[in-house]
């Protein structure tokens, strides 16, 4: 009898492990054939390379007139962690999160993983280099075509706001609205300012990643397509110690100077960094923008 019990116990343990969801990879190169077979995988080819990006969608994106695309902030401190130790690092968890956000905002949502994070190939330590934004742009092209989506509302926070701004500068004409919270702009000047504030040595010409020649949306504002209906909302806190507010203001001023509809808003933020905004002003603005109103 004990042998039967042991066999049953082992079988149940094996079944449990089989049912356990595999964590999403980080910074792993993914062949095209594997990418195209994976749910939510999109193969993005761009000048100089190709990446497999993962996206996680709520119900209702097919043939939707408007879909809100969420771009997360930097996760460089997670790069060296085991994938299974990273919060919500499974396909089901990310898909569930997209569903929750869609319920809250009242529109279909896609969470698009930046290169090197949450299942996307690429190197997150090379964030803000041109290839990051080119890969995201190519992925959006394919996602829009595959799901017959009308237009996107971009919602990005911190490094995700920088990515959303970069997508605007790449000449996209399918952006109904962009909401940029606590975004990083004037990247090299920002890097030097933060080094000085932290007592670190000066490294002129290098981003905080340690890499030269980042793609700075501030330097590519002329690439933004004229669209009198599109609204770009910049939201931040004047005490932000991560992405200083005066750089966000400068980005907004550059938009207005070129004739774009843009608003600069201030919001309460969590001390001591004053970088993470309180009350989800970005989500509220994105939802109202998607509905055709003014946040």
**Tens digits of per-residue pLDDT, 150-185?**
999 999 999 999 999 999 999 999 999 999 999 999
Please name the helix (run of DSSP H) or strand (run of DSSP E) that holds residue 135, with its range, or none: helix 130-147
Q: Residue 72, class by beta-carbon neighbours within 10 Å (0-12 exposed, 13-18 middle, 19+ buried)?
A: middle
Q: Let me know: does 269 contact 276? Beta carbons within 8 Å.
A: yes
Which element (helix H / strand E) includes 154? strand 151-157
pLDDT, tens only, 228-262:
999 999 999 999 999 999 999 999 999 999 999 99
**Each residue of 280-291: pLDDT tens digit?**
999 999 999 999
Look at 158 and 18; give whichever has higher pLDDT. 158
Q: Look at strands 231-236 and 66-71 and give their pairing.
A: unpaired
Q: Looking at the DSSP assignment, which residues form a beta bridge with residue 181? A: 157, 235
Domain spans, the chain: 21-290
CATH tag, 21-290: 3.40.50.1820
Statement: residue 17 has pLDDT above 60: no
pLDDT above 50: residue 11: no
Q: How far is the C-alpha of 135 from the C-alpha of 54, rounded, in Å?
A: 11
**pLDDT, averaged across the chain:** 93
pLDDT recorded at residue 13: 40
The pTM of the full predicted model, rounded to 2 decimals, is 0.91
pLDDT over 90 (residue 5): no
């Amino acid at each position: 009898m004990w042998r039967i019990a042991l066999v049953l116990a082992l079988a149940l343990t094996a079944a449990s492990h089989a049912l356990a969801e595999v964590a999403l990879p980080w910074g792993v190169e993914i062949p095209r054939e594997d990418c195209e077979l994976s749910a939510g995988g999109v193969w993005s080819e761009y000048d100089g390379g190709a990446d497999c990006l993962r996206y996680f969608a709520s119900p209702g994106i097919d043939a939707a007139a408007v879909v809100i695309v969420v771009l997360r902030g930097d996760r460089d401190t997670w790069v060296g962690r085991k994938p299974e130790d990273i919060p919500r690092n499974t396909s089901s968890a990310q898909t569930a999160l997209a569903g929750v956000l869609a319920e809250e905002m009242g529109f279909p949502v896609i969470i698009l993983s930046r290169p090197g994070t949450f299942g996307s190939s690429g190197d997150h330590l090379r964030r803000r280099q041109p290839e990051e934004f080119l890969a995201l742009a190519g992925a959006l092209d394919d996602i829009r075509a595959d799901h017959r989506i009308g237009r996107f509302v971009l919602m990005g926070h911190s490094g995700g706001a920088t990515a959303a701004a970069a997508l605007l500068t790449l000449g996209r004409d399918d952006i109904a609205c962009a909401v940029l919270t606590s975004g990083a702009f004037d990247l090299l000047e920002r890097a030097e300012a933060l080094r000085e504030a932290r007592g670190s040595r000066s490294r002129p010409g290098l981003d905080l990643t340690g890499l030269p020649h980042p793609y700075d949306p501030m330097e590519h504002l002329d690439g933004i397509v004229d669209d009198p209906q599109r609204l770009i909302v910049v939201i931040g806190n004047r005490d932000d110690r991560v992405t200083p507010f005066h750089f966000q203001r400068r980005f907004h001023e550059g938009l207005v100077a070129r004739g774009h509809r843009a608003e600069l808003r201030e919001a309460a933020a969590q001390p001591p960094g004053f970088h993470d905004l309180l009350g989800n002003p970005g989500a509220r603005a994105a939802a109202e923008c998607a509905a055709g109103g003014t946040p």
